[in-house]
Amino acid sequence: MSAQDPFYIVKEEIQQSIDKLQSTFHQWDNISSNNRESIQLTKELLTSCESIRWQIDELDKAIAVAARDPAWYGIDEAELEKRRRWTITARTQVDAMRKAVQAGKEQSIAFSTRQELMRLPNDDPYQASRSNQYEAQDNDAFISSESDRQLLLIKQQDEELDELSASVQRIGGVGLTIHEELTGQEKIIHELGLDMESTSNRLDFVQVSSPFLRHKGLLYFPLLSAITIAIRILNSLQWVL
């Protein structure tokens, strides 16, 4: 295949990254696992492994796309298989170095933790040669401190549960108050609705009664006028007699 093929261009870049990774890995493998340089190289190696692993995965995706229509990309099944074998080999190399570095990191952490717990610095021969009696005392002290830490943790958890229970009670009280207020408001709204209904009924009655009252008023007015005139005539006759 042509050297200008995108696969081979990316492959070359990945291979250069793997070569650099192997060089750094050998450097890391030949130094003490508890100094600052080792810690820095460990971080660098793990980051590089993740980056290269991602590049290989992307290259695998490109191979899978080409495998759907090899003729379109101008390659045959033999070339596809060759490319797959290369990505498998590259991934295996990177994963092996990553696992070794990760295991070394965990071992270093465990060793550092043990040194801290046992209080045995590497550069103190006297401390390194302490008797088993003192080591047992250190172990007892560690167990005691661990027990105290567990008791403190349990106490803190109990306090947190008490605070949570108090919060739940407060929330329940607030909810009850809100419920009572809503019930009171609902009662007020119901009474207001009854008042409005009564007022509406009265207004309807007035509207119905008004024409009737006006009609009766027109009938009574002439009658009252006639009675008034008759009374005046009777009074006049009394004066004449």
Mean pLDDT score of the chain = 74
Separation of alpha carbons 144 and 11, rounded Å: 57
45 near 24, Cβ under 8 Å?
yes
79 near 1, Cβ under 8 Å?
yes
CATH of 6-130, one of 1.10.287.70, 1.20.58.90, 3.40.190.10, 2.40.30.10: 1.20.58.90
Over the stretch 96-135, which tens digit does the pLDDT of each residue have?
999 999 988 777 665 555 555 555 555 555 445 554 555 5
Separation of alpha carbons 36 and 125, rounded Å: 22
In sequence order, what are the residues at sequence separation of 6 or more whose Cβ sits closer than 8 angstroms to the Cβ of residue 26? none
Return the amino acid letter for 104.
G
Structure tokens at 31: 């130094």
Q: Where are the domains of the chain?
A: 6-130
Length of the chain: 241
Over the stretch 65-96, which tens digit does the pLDDT of each residue have?
999 999 998 999 999 999 999 999 999 999 99
Handedness of CA 101, 107, 113, 115 (dihedral sign): negative
pLDDT score for 55: 97
List the single range of 25-29, 51-55, 225-229 with lowest mean pLDDT.
225-229
The model's pTM is 0.46
Of the candidates 112, 100, 120, 134, which has an alpha carbon nearest to the alpha carbon of residue 21? 100
